[in-house]
Amino acid sequence: MRSPAERNYLRRIAITTAAYLVLTYICTWTVHHLHPSRLAIYLLALIPTLAVVKMLHVVALYLQEQKDEYLRAQLVRAILVGITFTLVASSFSDFLASYDHGRGLPPFTLFTICWVVTGIAQSVQSHRNRVPDEEGAR
Amino acid sequence: MKNRMRDLRALRGWSQAFLAEQLDVSRQSVNAIETGRYDPSLPLAFRIARTFALPIEQIFDDEP
């Protein structure tokens, strides 16, 4: 059974992810079909990143609302793993781009890596804790 | 940090879920503390001590 903080976290993350996808679609469509000015392109590229900021805000809210210190530590560890993989992938992409004439990782890969790895790290930690309760007392 | 939580809980015939409820934490927390994967904060250690009605040093051992 999930705690209220976990339920809020999952709900907020789902809403923010949906907002990110919608914003990305709208901005990409606008750039490709309406051919905006250079300045407008910079602004359109900035808009989906608001959802990224909101995602970290959702994490901050969870850390504030979750009263269970172990679960808080678990999320912090998972995010550190996610950030580590993201920085490794980012450095790899930059080196690849400089060695191979600008061909780095495909766009949006880093954002996906961060959250997918964070999710995997959380699942692994939860799985490690899934030990059957040995006695039926009380 | 070593602890005797599992033994003390078994002596009282409590399940992890029951202890977690008493401490107002998740069962995952109880499991992580019992297996030594997580050291509780001082406030939680005090709550554990109160729940078992024992001094902290009889539950937790900071000696290597």
Total residues found in chain B within this entry:
64
For position A106, what pLDDT does the model report?
Answer: 83
Task: State the pLDDT at residue A137.
Answer: 46
Amino acid at position A104, single letter: G
Residue type, B15: S
B44, pLDDT greater than 90: yes
B46 in contact with chain A, both atoms CB, cutoff 8 A:
no
Taking contacts as CB-CB distances below 8 angstroms, the residues of chain A near B24 are 67
Q: What is the distance of C-alpha A76 from the center of its chain?
A: 13
Reported as a pLDDT band with limits 50, 70 and 90, residue A134 is: low
pLDDT tens-digit map of A45-65: 999 999 999 999 999 999 999
Any A CB within 8 A of B33 CB? yes
- DSSP string covering A33-71: HH---HHHHHHHHHTTHHHHHHHHHHHHHHHHH---HHH
Q: Side chain identity at B51, as an amino acid letter?
A: T
Could you give phi then psi for residue B62, rounded to 5 degrees? Answer: -90, 0
Q: How far apart are CA A132 and CA B31, in angstroms?
A: 10
Q: Please state which of the ranges A30-34, A84-88, A125-129, B56-60 shows the lowest mean pLDDT.
A: A125-129
- Compute the C-alpha angle B14/B16/B20, nearest 5°: 105
Q: Which of A3, A129, A138 sits opposite B32 (nearest CB)?
A: A129
Q: What is the pLDDT of residues A69-128, one digit of tens each?
A: 999 999 999 999 999 999 999 999 999 989 988 788 887 888 889 989 999 999 998 888
Is it the case that residue A30 has pLDDT exceeding 60? yes
Query: SS3 for B6?
Result: helix
Overall size of chain A counted in residues: 138
The predicted structure's pLDDT at residue B63: 74
Query: Quick one: DSSP state of residue A2?
Result: -
Could you give the CA distance from residue B32 to residue B61 in angstroms, rounded to a whole number? 16
- DSSP H helix total and E strand total for chain A: 5, 0
Nearest chain A residue to B44 by CA distance is A69
Among A70, A76, A135, most B C-beta atoms within 10 A, so best to mutate, is A70
Sole residue written with tokens 């890969």: A109
Nearest-angstrom CA–CA distance, B47 and B61: 16
> Can you give the pLDDT at residue A112?
86
pLDDT for res A33: 93
> Quick one: pLDDT at residue A136?
43
Q: Is the pLDDT of residue B64 over 70?
A: no
Contact A71 B28 (CB under 8 A): yes
> Measured between CB atoms, does B58 come within 8 Å of chain A?
no
CB contact under 8 A, A70 and B38: yes
State the complex-level ipTM: 0.86
